[in-house]
């Protein structure tokens, strides 16, 4: 996949990718969500730093999707606050949160099936003040769909639709990109394409929060992993630390240790 980095030179201050001394752009404080008697997210203090790729893993029902939905505003928290880039998101509507520099790609593909690939990209892009032609060409290159620009999105393969989804989300030029299982149902090659795409965007300074089950993929992209279990942060650390942690292997990887 071609990834021309020069054209998409981002206006944001370049971010050191060393990991040390970076500021948190997203943080949750005592974030809690109750569904009736069930506490899906339980007093979570969680941070994502500027320009990092953070993966969020955990067994089914650990609260990953709930946490993501709280950040995007699909759900409102029972208690606690969410801060992003200096703004308290907690009371904002979902669409208002996008304007603070968030962008999101939900789990199931949600492309505009009846519209062409180009028009799919135009819908988010026309809201920004970016140079339309320039960003369109660049994004089509990045997601390797330049030849399909006039194809109806509904006629694309599953993997192409997922890439288009990511393409649509990045036309907003977000500071932080939220991805819910971006490679679910993808072949090995398609997964590698998406990993390369994420890495190239990360090189340009975009931060990611990725909910993912595919450990192979997590290993490909991530510097730091957060493990959720029963609605709380269970472990946090580098991918090596997490994979060698006995407790994590017991609860998540299902191994008998």
Which residues form the interface with other proteins (CB under 8 A)? 72, 93-96, 98-99, 103-104, 106, 110-116, 119, 122-124, 126-127, 168, 172
For every residue of the chain, DSSP letters joined together read -----STT--SSPP---SSTTPPEEEEEEEEEEEETTEEEEEEEEEEEETT-EEEEE-STTSSHHHHHHHHHTSS--SEEEEEETTEE-TTS-HHHHHTTTEEEE-SS----TTSBHHHHHHHHHTTS-S-HHHHHHHHHHHTT-GGGTTSBGGGS-HHHHHHHHHHHHHTT--SEEEEESTTTT--HHHHHHHHHHHHHHHHTT-EEEEE---HHHHHHH-SEEEEEETTEEEEEEEHHHHHT-HHHHHHTS----
Measured from the CB of residue 102, what is the shortest distance to other proteins in angstroms? 9
3 versus 151: smaller Cβ distance to other proteins: 151
What minimum distance in Å lies between the beta carbon of 251 and other proteins?
31
Minimum distance from residue 241 beta carbon to other proteins (Å): 33
Q: Which is nearer to other proteins, 25 or 242 (CB)?
A: 25
Pick the closer one to other proteins by CB: 63 or 124: 124
| Nearest distance from C-beta of residue 6 to other proteins, angstroms | 26
Of the two residues 69 and 222, which places its CB atom closer to other proteins in the complex?
69
Smallest gap from Cβ 121 to other proteins, in A, equals: 11
CB of 83 or CB of 112, closer to other proteins? 112
Q: Considering the complex, what minimum distance in angstroms separates the CB of residue 252 from other proteins?
A: 28
Q: Which is nearer to other proteins, 153 or 198 (CB)?
A: 153
């Amino acid at each position: 996949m071609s990834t021309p980095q020069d054209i998409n030179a981002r206006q944001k201050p370049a971010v050191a990718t060393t990991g040390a001394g970076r500021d948190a752009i997203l943080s949750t404080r005592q974030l809690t969500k109750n569904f009736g008697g069930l506490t899906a997210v339980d007093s979570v203090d969680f941070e994502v730093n500027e320009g990092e790729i953070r993966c969020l893993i955990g067994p089914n029902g650990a609260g990953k999707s709930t946490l993501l939905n709280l950040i995007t505003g699909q759900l409102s928290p029972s208690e606690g606050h969410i801060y992003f880039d200096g703004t308290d998101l907690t009371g904002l509507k979902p669409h208002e949160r996008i304007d603070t520099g968030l962008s999101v790609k939900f789990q199931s593909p949600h492309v505009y099936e009846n519209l062409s690939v180009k028009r799919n990209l135009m819908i988010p892009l026309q809201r920004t003040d970016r140079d339309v032609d320039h960003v369109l060409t660049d994004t089509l290159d990045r997601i390797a769909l330049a030849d399909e620009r006039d194809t109806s999105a509904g006629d694309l393969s599953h993997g192409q639709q997922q890439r288009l989804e990511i393409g649509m989300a990045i036309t907003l030029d977000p500071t932080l990109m939220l991805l819910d299982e971006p490679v679910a149902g993808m072949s090995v090659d398609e997964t590698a394409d998406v990993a390369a795409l994420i890495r190239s965007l990360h090189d340009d300074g975009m931060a990611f929060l990725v909910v993912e089950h595919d450990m192979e993929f997590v290993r490909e992209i991530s510097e730091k992993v957060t493990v959720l279990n029963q609605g709380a942060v269970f472990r946090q650390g580098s991918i090596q630390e997490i994979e060698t942690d006995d407790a994590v292997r017991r609860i998540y990887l299902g191994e008998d240790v």
